[in-house]
Amino acid sequence: MITIGILKEPSFESRVSMLSVEVAALIKSGNTVWVENGAGARSFCSDAEYAAIGAVVKSRAEILAAADIILSINSEDIPSSLNGKVLIGVYQPLFNSPLMADWSHQGLTVLSLDMLPRITRAQSMDVLSSQANIAGYKAVVLAASIYPHYFPMMMTAAGSVAPAKVMIIGAGVAGLQAIATARRLGAVVEVFDTRPAAKEEVMSLGGRFIEVEGAADVSKAGGYAVEQTDAFQQKQKDMIAAHIKKTDILITTAQIRGKKAPVLVTREMIAAMKPGSLIIDLASATGGNTEVTKDNATIQSGGVTVIGNSNLASTLPADASKLYGKNIANFLSLLVNDKGDMAINLQDEIIKATCVTSAEKAISSSTITLIHHEHIA
């Protein structure tokens, strides 16, 4: 049987990788679960709640020293001297090569769930989707609370108010949820995306899809977007510039896996927006979709407020942790054999894609094979 350790996240993070309900299920299946003191506090799951369902509350040092599998969402504050341990989280290996190389040289097995393939079997484990869904919702709710006007159209005895005009760039999981939420609040929504498949989804949510012809083919990119040609980007920018003047709230989510986010909104475009308008850039961690975005910061660009935040899911920590933990529980079921021992099958399409590095090591009578992914130099 396996000992699973849940670490407390760094101070900027309010989520925890598993709440007590999923921990209880793991314990019921015969596993031991250790939880770092205070790990769930910011997600409203106390040490006492974990202890009540049979988890053992321990210090970080004890968990790092003796758990077989260590769960953490972020890569911060995890020592590299954890030879033979299995780490599961969202470590952004394509942006964190030095750390991944370090972990690899130290013999850790690292499974990073942001590398999941976009296949049906992986959907229940897809942490990017469960968290992006929250981010898209929260972006609109945040915008509505800051925007100095109504979202819906109002017709009152004192006069009429026009509905807010929202533009969304990137209709992936976050963008689609943002469209749905903005529509629910009564806004008029215009949407840009480079994937032709997005058009139908946008329209079904009541958004207006603005088509820019000539986008690169994404059919071989496994569900992810790809970089566009300079000519296309210019055409797209011209189209955004034409529409942004009338936009009150812009929410940007455009990302390309492993690459800097495309800069689609220039300073001049922002200067053309009305005073009091608002931009929420969810791609800020990878550079942002506007020329002025600063990650984890709110700035003023003329009369426009620009918020860079790629971790909005963390502002709904209880639901975010609940869904993240369920994703992890589903993923863990892939790593265990019939006897309840760890059996990491690197031939499995999902494990192969998520396994950044691993070292040959027997844990609970199973064997982990050495692999080195091409992005670890």
**Residue owning tokens 């210090």:** 59
The answer to whether 224 is a known catalytic residue is: yes
95 binds ligand NAD (CB under 6 A): no
Closest distance between ligand NAD and the C-beta of residue 219, in Å?
12
Residue of 118, 183, 184, 257 marked active site: 118
Q: Name the closest residue to ligand NAD (Cβ).
A: 172
Query: 191-202 burial by CB neighbour count: b if 16+ within 10 A, else e?
Result: bbbbbeebbebb
CB under 8 Å to 193, separation ≥6 — which residues? Answer: 169, 170, 171, 172, 175, 199, 202, 209, 254
H or E segment and range at residue 138: helix 127-146
Q: What is the CA radius of gyration of the chain?
A: 22
| Of residues 36 and 126, the one with the C-beta less far from ligand NAD | 126
Residue of 15, 92, 112, 126 marked active site: 126
The answer to whether 129 is a known catalytic residue is: yes
| Of residues 194 and 247, the one with the C-beta less far from ligand NAD | 194
For residue 235, the Cα-to-chain-centroid distance in whole angstroms is 29
| Of residues 229 and 337, the one with the C-beta less far from ligand NAD | 229
Cα angle for residues 53, 133, 199 (degrees, 5° grid) = 155
Closest distance between ligand NAD and the C-beta of residue 255, in Å?
4
The answer to whether 123 is a known catalytic residue is: yes
Span 169-198, contacts to ligand NAD by CB under 6 A: 169-175, 192-195, 198
The DSSP result for 195-222, as a single string, is -TTHHHHHHHTTPEE---S-PPP-TTTT
Residue of 17, 92, 112, 129 marked active site: 129
Cα angle for residues 331, 335, 336 (degrees, 5° grid) = 120
| Of residues 250 and 254, the one with the C-beta less far from ligand NAD | 254
Residue of 224, 233, 295, 341 marked active site: 224
The answer to whether the CB of 164 falls within 8 A of the CB of 147 is yes
> Residues 209-228 vs ligand NAD: string with x where CB under 6 A?
--------------xxx--x
130 Rama class: left (phi>0) / alpha (psi -120 to 50) / beta: alpha
Closest distance between ligand NAD and the C-beta of residue 248, in Å?
20
118 binds ligand NAD (CB under 6 A): yes
Task: Kindly tell me which residue out of 14, 31, 129, 309 binds ligand NAD, with binding defined by CB under 6 A.
Answer: 129
The answer to whether the CB of 209 falls within 8 A of the CB of 179 is no
The answer to whether the CB of 129 falls within 8 A of the CB of 330 is no
**Whole-angstrom Cα distance, residue 332 to residue 150?**
45
Closest distance between ligand NAD and the C-beta of residue 188, in Å?
19
Q: Please report how many Cα atoms fall inside a 13 Å half-sphere around the Cα of residue 216, on the Cβ side.
A: 14
| Of residues 154 and 285, the one with the C-beta less far from ligand NAD | 285
Task: Kindly tell me which residue out of 119, 203, 346, 362 binds ligand NAD, with binding defined by CB under 6 A.
Answer: 119
| Of residues 71 and 171, the one with the C-beta less far from ligand NAD | 171
The answer to whether 97 is a known catalytic residue is: no
Task: Kindly tell me which residue out of 9, 22, 36, 126 binds ligand NAD, with binding defined by CB under 6 A.
Answer: 126
Span 242-261, contacts to ligand NAD by CB under 6 A: 253-257
- Which residues are the active-site residues? 118, 123, 126, 129, 224
The residues of the shown chain that bind ligand NAD, judged by CB under 6 A, are: 118-120, 122-123, 126, 128-129, 132, 169-175, 192-195, 198, 223-225, 228, 253-257, 262, 264
